[in-house]
Amino acid sequence: MSTPGISTDLLDRFAAIVGDKYALRSEADLAPHLIENRGLYHGSSPLLLKPGSAEEVSDIMKLATETGTAIVPQTGNTGLVGGQTPRAGKSDIILSLERMNRIRDVDPVANVLVADGGAILADVQKAAEAHGRLFPLSLGSEGSCRIGGNLSTNAGGTAVLAYGNMRQLCLGLEVVLPTGEIWDGLRRLKKDNTGYDLRDLFIGAEGTLGIITGAVLKLFPQPLGHQVAFAGLNSVEDALALFNLAASLCGTSLTGFELMPRFGVEITTRHIDGVRDPLEAAYPWYVLIDISTSDSAETAERMMNGVLEQGFEAGLVLDAAIASSVAQQQAIWHMRESMSDAQKPEGRSIKHDVSVPVSRIPHFMAEAEEAVMAAMPGARICAFGHMGDGNIHYNISQPVGADKAAFIARWREMNHIVHGLVLAHGGSISAEHGIGQLKRDELATIRPAIEIELMRRIKRAFDPAGIMNPGKVVSLDV
Ligand SMILES: O=C(O)CC[C@@H](O)C(=O)O
Ligand SMILES: [Zn+2]
């Protein structure tokens, strides 16, 4: 079990593994690692370790097992559910992978890249590009999030529609187990049916089963054509019809289809520097359409024109702007990716990272709006996201002038309303952000008991001492 207090002697033993330079104990050094982006969790920790190799991670875990010390792995600290934050009132030691940030190998013929668990996502993308390849995982936080965290949360982002989430983008892993043993599963194979899939157990486990120190990632050809458009629409039903049209005209070349409400566009143009609405008039809903083609630039252009022309003819598209330069493409994407940040200056928000089958999105959205507005008149719904893969960030900004604390106190009640509808439509209460601390107890109530029990058995099998990111995903205190 984890230790509530840790002796200086023991802290010194941990520090000796990485050297004093990489063992931080001061309040100022630890402070940024104790909080997460949304300010929902504030943990405590006496020590942050920055190992430089899988062997050092292994030595840390051996000592942790021997002494029953809880370890919290942390990479870019961009997680949104408190999975990377040490527990409050405990003495969890933080293990940061930030020094383990190398790209180990790129093989453009086999279309694989091998990276350390602490490699920054944007660096992986750049390394792939330098070899004429694409690593398609794309997130607003790609400049600071790291591969180990992306894998541990099975990150999604904006290109899941075409390329899948992190699970689909990974071929092999190197993991340090809670016992300190190192599992070298850095296989580069597309086909490998050799027993239980250990790799897929660690992906999405949020560091509760082991620490991902290295990974083999899949690469793709760099697209030759790329088109981005922003369209104004009347309704979510029309957005679904346009999605169907785009999917049938573009097939796998449809690489992004994002939904945004008018409120989201208003707040990004109001609060985010350099963002402006590409359309002259205001519309109730918007979609961002992203098309990438591997044969030629002309194909992408033809496809985008086809989608918009047919969309106009069918009365689905009211107005649209096609980006005519890379800078304009980036500006449209920047608007979409800033939507989460733009909510902050509007006060507090209660967030839901949910998915439903794509065909259910209009029903879910209509029912959720009715229920939320009935429960909280004045609430400002900012439901946006990755419509093409069924993932909506059903966020609720506080009513103007509402008391922040009183609003946040209604988090569970609003969760209950939104998640109830999500489940009724066969959806998931965590589409891409994970479970962490935020949804741990709720998860245990919505999944069949046998599913939670299997998760507990897996957790105990990998981490008998209960030291590996305890208190996240699944609770063992039953
Ligand atoms: O803050 C959110 O709700 C969403 C964050 C992120 O997943 C996004 O898609 O922008
Ligand atoms: Zn998202």
pLDDT in tens, 205-238: 999 999 999 999 999 999 999 999 999 999 999 9
- For residue 38, what pLDDT is reported? 86
Could you tell me the pLDDT band of residue 119, with boundaries at 50, 70 and 90? Answer: very high
Asked if the model's pLDDT at residue 3 lies above 50, the reply is no
Every domain of the chain with CATH number 3.30.43.10 lies at: 8-98
- Which pLDDT does position 52 carry in this prediction? 98
Instruction: For residue 186, give both structure tokens.
Output: 């850095």
What is the spatial distance between Cα 61 and Cα 468, in angstroms, rounded to a whole number? 9
Distance (angstroms) between ligand 1 centre and the Cα of 116 equals: 25
- 123, two tokens: 């660096």
Among 78, 339, 354, the mutation site with the greatest number of ligand 1 atoms within 8 A of its Cβ is 339
Tens of pLDDT, residues 28-46: 999 999 999 888 999 999 9
The reply to whether ligand 1 has any atom less than 6 angstroms from the CB of 146 is no
pLDDT of 324 > 80? The answer is: yes
Q: Would you say the C-alpha torsion 436, 442, 446, 450 has a positive or negative sign? A: positive
Kindly tell me if the per-residue pLDDT of 420 is higher than 90: yes
Measure 353 CA to ligand 2 centroid, in angstroms. 8
Average pLDDT over residues 420-441: 98
Cite the residue boundaries of each domain of the chain with CATH code 3.30.70.2190. Answer: 225-340
Long-range contacts of 243-250 (CB under 8 A, 24+ apart): 243/287, 243/358, 243/387, 243/388, 245/307, 245/310, 245/311, 245/314, 245/316, 246/289, 246/291, 246/307, 247/388, 249/303, 249/306, 249/307, 249/310, 250/291, 250/303, 250/307
Q: Is 393's C-beta closer than 6 angstroms to any atom of ligand 1?
A: yes
CATH topology of domain 225-340: Alpha-Beta Plaits (3.30.70)
CB 199 near ligand 1, within 6 Å = no
Q: CATH 3.30.465.10 spans which residues of the chain?
A: 103-221
Mutate to test the pocket of ligand 1, among 145, 265, 341, 393 (most ligand atoms within 8 A of CB): 393
pLDDT tens-digit map of 346-390: 999 999 999 999 999 999 999 999 999 999 999 999 999 999 999
**CA–CA distance from 242 to each of 68, 255, 259, 294, 329 (Å)?**
55, 14, 11, 23, 20
CB atoms within 10 A of CB 62: 16
pLDDT digits (tens, 9 = 90+) for 261-280: 999 999 999 999 999 999 99
pLDDT band at 5 (very low <50, low <70, confident <90, very high): confident
Q: Residue 418 corresponds to which amino acid? A: V
Mean pLDDT of 273-288: 97
Residue ranges matching CATH 3.30.70.2740 in the chain: 347-424
Q: Which fold has domain 8-98?
A: 3.30.43
Please provide the CATH number assigned to the domain covering 103-221: 3.30.465.10
User: Domain 347-424 adopts which CATH fold?
Assistant: Alpha-Beta Plaits (3.30.70)
**Whole-number pLDDT of residue 477:** 79
* pLDDT at 121 exceeding the cut of 60: yes
